Amino acid sequence: MALDSHIRQIIKKSGYIEVDVMMREVLSSRPLSYYRHLANIGMKGDFVTAPEISQLFGEIIGVWCIEQWQRLGSPRKINLVELGPGQGTMLRDILRIARLRPQFYEALTIELVEINPNFIKLQKQQLSPLGIEIKWLTQIHDIASLPSIIIANEFFDSLPIKQYIKIKDHWQELVFVVEPIDAQIKFDKISINRELQNQLLHDHPYAFDGAILEESPQSLEIIRAICEHLNKISGVHLIIDYGYYVPPWQRTRYQYNPTLQAIKNHQYHPLLSTLGEADLSAHVDFYALKKTAHERGRFAIGPITQREFLIQNGILLRSKLLQQKLSAKEALLVEKQTNYLLEEQKMGTLFKVLCIT
């Protein structure tokens, strides 16, 4: 059944569908969901990610991974886990660097958490020439009981969010309903339980009338599972994503806006007219991720901007060394790609990096 009719059927049955349930149906839970049949990321796809822009991105993450392995005491076995590896490009670039440190490379086992059969095929193509053993999982809870380096680039922004709106001193949850007159899917509101009401009023004392708040319970559940793994065994988790870091009591009027968006062919689309064909994403609330890690007894560093992270880990030097080996034309391209990753007010600062250790 097409996704649009499936969503309408849920609404017909229950009267409405919550934003996170709609996102889950549209993005991942059905064979026709966007992330189950998306075929490529890049200029030919709907959106481009940092590893697809420059090999330097994955290579710098590779340098970071080696350093983390050493910090963990250079264990004889280390599990490198990637959440949502897309086309496998970042991992391929990480492994290019990993080979420079044979002891690290030999210690590696790899697990990839992925739900998209097209991407799994691409990941196999990219990575099988390396002869390294890789295991595919559909959820983080199944990772091996080994010290782990867990990385996620542009993964959390694709997870479902809930939306709440504050009206006359009360929070309500936003949902979708079908308008009886013209059969269009549109936003509506439902009331929330008292406990959540009190929590939101307490956590967001300065939210104004009309404020919209987004929360991603699934993201927090994944963070809790990772923290449990780090608590029980050992390791580190690196999150790179488009997002914001503002404690609730410091939020201004402009930080209570919805960020849920649909992107197809590099263009924004109306949220409800492209169900299952466009990528839905929301900005990541890094404050909530970090708070959850703290609640689970972990230490979290950052977030810092992608620009700071890449520069601190040596991207400028690596870029220069790479350029020296290339023709003038190729070198110029590498320089441009490096600048793209680092650009202020764009990728360099809108993307943030958080490390849970």
Which residues sit at the interface with ligand SAH, rule CB under 6 A? 28, 35, 41, 49, 51-52, 84-86, 90, 113-116, 119, 153-155, 158
Residue ranges in 109-213 assigned as alpha helix (H):
117-127, 194-203
Whichever of 20 and 114 has its CB closer to ligand SAH, that residue is 114
**Angstrom distance (rounded) from CA 36 to CA 117:** 7
Whichever of 136 and 187 has its CB closer to ligand SAH, that residue is 136
Whichever of 126 and 357 has its CB closer to ligand SAH, that residue is 126
Residue ranges in the chain assigned as alpha helix (H):
3-14, 19-24, 34-37, 50-53, 55-71, 89-98, 102-107, 117-127, 194-203, 217-232, 286-295, 306-312, 315-324, 328-342, 347-350
In whole angstroms, the minimum distance from the beta carbon of 140 to ligand SAH comes to 8
Q: Which amino acid is at 332?
A: L
| Under 8 Å between Cβ of 208 and 166 | yes
Q: Which two tokens stand for residue 24?
A: 């889950």
Whichever of 122 and 175 has its CB closer to ligand SAH, that residue is 122
In whole angstroms, the minimum distance from the beta carbon of 25 to ligand SAH comes to 12
In whole angstroms, the minimum distance from the beta carbon of 315 to ligand SAH comes to 16
State how far the alpha carbon of 86 is from the alpha carbons of 38, 62, 145, 275, 302, in Å. Answer: 10, 17, 24, 21, 25
In whole angstroms, the minimum distance from the beta carbon of 229 to ligand SAH comes to 16
Q: Which two tokens stand for residue 268?
A: 């924004």
Residue ranges in 108-158 assigned as alpha helix (H):
117-127
In whole angstroms, the minimum distance from the beta carbon of 119 to ligand SAH comes to 5
Residue 32 phi/psi, 5° resolution?
A: -90, 0
Whichever of 197 and 261 has its CB closer to ligand SAH, that residue is 261
Whichever of 55 and 153 has its CB closer to ligand SAH, that residue is 153
**Angstrom distance (rounded) from CA 282 to CA 214:** 9
Three-state DSSP class for 82?
strand
Q: Which residue's CB atom is positioned nearest to ligand SAH?
A: 84
SS3 per-residue string spanning 257-286: CCCCEEEECCEEECCCCCCCCCEEECCEEH
**Angstrom distance (rounded) from CA 20 to CA 217:** 9
In whole angstroms, the minimum distance from the beta carbon of 141 to ligand SAH comes to 11
In whole angstroms, the minimum distance from the beta carbon of 201 to ligand SAH comes to 31
Beta strands at 284-285 and 170-178: parallel, antiparallel or unpaired: unpaired
**Angstrom distance (rounded) from CA 73 to CA 316:** 28
Whichever of 154 and 214 has its CB closer to ligand SAH, that residue is 154
Whichever of 155 and 256 has its CB closer to ligand SAH, that residue is 155
Whichever of 86 and 235 has its CB closer to ligand SAH, that residue is 86
Tell me 152's DSSP state: E
In whole angstroms, the minimum distance from the beta carbon of 55 to ligand SAH comes to 13
Q: Which two tokens stand for residue 336?
A: 């441009």
In whole angstroms, the minimum distance from the beta carbon of 331 to ligand SAH comes to 24
